[in-house]
Amino acid sequence: MNFRLEISNDMKTGLIARLQQAYQECQLRLVKRIHALLYLADDYSLAEVSQILEICEQTIRNYVKTFLLNGLDSLKYRRPAGRPAKLSKTQKKELADLLDEGPEKAGYDCGCWTTTLIQDLILTRFEREYTPHYIAELLKNMGFSYQRARFVSDHLGDVAEAQKEWMDVTWPKTLAMAHERKAMLLFGDEASFAQWGSLSYTWARRGEQPTVPTSGTRRAYKVFGLIDFFSGALFSQGITGKFNSDSYQAFLSEVLKQTQKHLVLIQDGARYHTSKAMQEFFEKHVERLTVVQLPAYSPDFNPIEYLWRNLKKQATHLRYFPTYEDLTKKVDEKLRYFAELPQAILGLMGKYCHSLGTEPVY
């Protein structure tokens, strides 16, 4: 369910001032929290905010509820001096049980535990504040490790069955069809790159926390991308507007102009990928374009996700972008860099095949 957060101009001014303070103090959680509120006030959907900030929708709902109850007073994180108070044995046992039951049982609308999510859980349930690094050590001492999940539960059977169908049937058939038609086999997706950059871990002197200047501007550069399974070719297009059927059609039209080969397009189920307008577009270009849908809730089945991670690591992690043009210039520069390194993209395809338990076949 989507909603719009309406706030006064004075309240927005207060939020921006608090945002600048959070940037200065390198309080990443508070930065994301305030950005979430401002995005909702700008009429972004809950799903869009979740994707841009990479936090689950339930956490955003919690932010809004607390903000509506306490206003700007809800946006104060005061870390106690010295080491954080430890969880008692009883609290650790309760925490372990909560982790075993999964995020949804604890009230979060997602299926994977991250250190940031556990940080929020410990803070809200036990009123103890830990850094993500300390949480990793805590979980290790409690007998937990960061590992890939597998489907076993009955209520996830449909997703697991669809993923198995993809690995065993759809993917081999799609690969064979692309070989037979001498087509390009393109994995497509989109990504957003925030002007305020992204914080990450880096080596630095002890006691001297790295800082990154920021303008506090909340604009993001959106990019469509396609990578070819056989050649490692990269097609991309940055846009200043929103992802929708019109911008998606414009991107695919440009790609069709750049090659005479038949295109086999593998895409996820985003609404603007499967809209009526897109169905009409695909029918119009059926002689040049074959569309294959990925299983629902399966981002790991799209190797371009690896590219987006690498691109963000090189383009926006710990970088300062005083203007939107600086951001777009850097992202476009890195897109050209990867476009000139098809072997690097082919390496991602090998990683993808390994994740499916198959060998690369180019």
- In Å, how far are 178, 217, 285, 361 from 229, measured between CA atoms? 10, 37, 21, 9
- Residue 47: CB atoms within 10 A of its CB come to 13
Q: How many CA atoms lie within 13 A of 263 on its CB side?
A: 26
Instruction: Indicate the SS3 state at residue 152.
Output: coil
**pLDDT tens, position by position, 30-71:** 888 888 898 888 888 888 888 888 788 888 888 888 888 888
| pLDDT (0 to 100) of residue 153 | 40
- In Å, how far are 136, 192, 247 from 240, measured between CA atoms? 38, 10, 10
**pLDDT tens, position by position, 134-154:** 888 888 888 888 776 554 444
Kindly report each contact of residues 89-97 with a partner whose C-beta sits within 8 Å and lies 24 or more positions away, as own/partner. Answer: 91/126, 91/128, 92/142, 94/125, 95/121, 95/122, 95/125, 95/126, 95/142, 96/142, 96/143, 96/144
* Through-space distance between the first and last CA atoms of the chain, rounded to whole angstroms: 43
Instruction: With a cut of 70, list the residues of the chain below it in pLDDT.
Output: 1-3, 23-26, 28, 77-85, 109-110, 132, 148-157, 216, 355-362
Q: Which residues contact 280 (CB under 8 A, 6 or more apart)?
A: none
| pLDDT (0 to 100) of residue 149 | 59
- Angle (nearest 5°) at CA 125 between 124 and 126: 100
* Residue at token pair 């850094």: 131
